[in-house]
Amino acid sequence: MEAKVNGQIDLKEVLNWRYTTKEFDPTKKISKEDEDNIKALLQMSASSINSQPWHFIIASTDEGKQRLAKGTEGFFNFNKPKVLDASHVVLFCSKTDIDDDYLQHVTDIEDADGRFAKEEFKTQNFGAKQLFTNIHRFDLKDAQHWMEKQVYLNIGNFLLGVAALGIDAVPMEGIDVKALDEEFGLREKGYTSLVMVGLGYRSANDFNAGLPKSRLPKTEIFTEI
């Protein structure tokens, strides 16, 4: 993939190159440099009030991928080869609770990173975090769904980012979240599994690689005012 024009990333080229990979080449592995870039994509994603209500399990070893593949047993067995043949697999997990202690933890890290010129700015920021979080906890009563939305923001950012690196990916919602939560003791740690993303390089036999892209027409999805 040639994703640059005049030294700039050709975003449309990246978007058209990216697709949902159905079959990986198990002999091709992601480099250490790109592994670091993958972690940066996960860490630096945007989230509402910088809440970052996520945790990631990254498997690159055969043993690690076998553990993640426990979430593809039974009904979800069709996803097992995508886990085992991928170079890396990321399990996206969401927090199950968001309280003042966690918000204070995030705010303290922001403070250590130099985001507040004055102590009063830190206090105001923490109050804003409480305000918006409590809207979801008590008024809308959708705090869990709200946190999962932040994880999905991360996933969207992640899929585009790895494509820009020339890495293929497949997001998998077809997983046994209970099995994965139990395998990694996630619920005891305050998390639950949400989506797995397999990463690597497409197999020459992947039927989906050669199919044309299909999206709703611009006239249907855009209103320009």
Question: Annotated catalytic sites, by residue?
Answer: 22, 82, 173
> Do residues 112 and 209 touch, judged by C-beta distance below 8 A?
no
10 Å CB burial of residue 132 (0-12, 13-18, 19+) is middle
The two three-digit tokens of residue 177, written as one number: 């979240």
87's CB contacts (< 8 A; 6+ apart) are 24, 28, 29, 30, 60, 199, 200, 201
Which of helix, strand or coil describes residue 59? strand
Q: Distance between CA 13 and CA 71 in Å, rounded?
A: 34
CA angle 199, 201, 205 (to 5 degrees): 120
DSSP state of 70: G
Total residue count of the chain as it appears in this document:
225
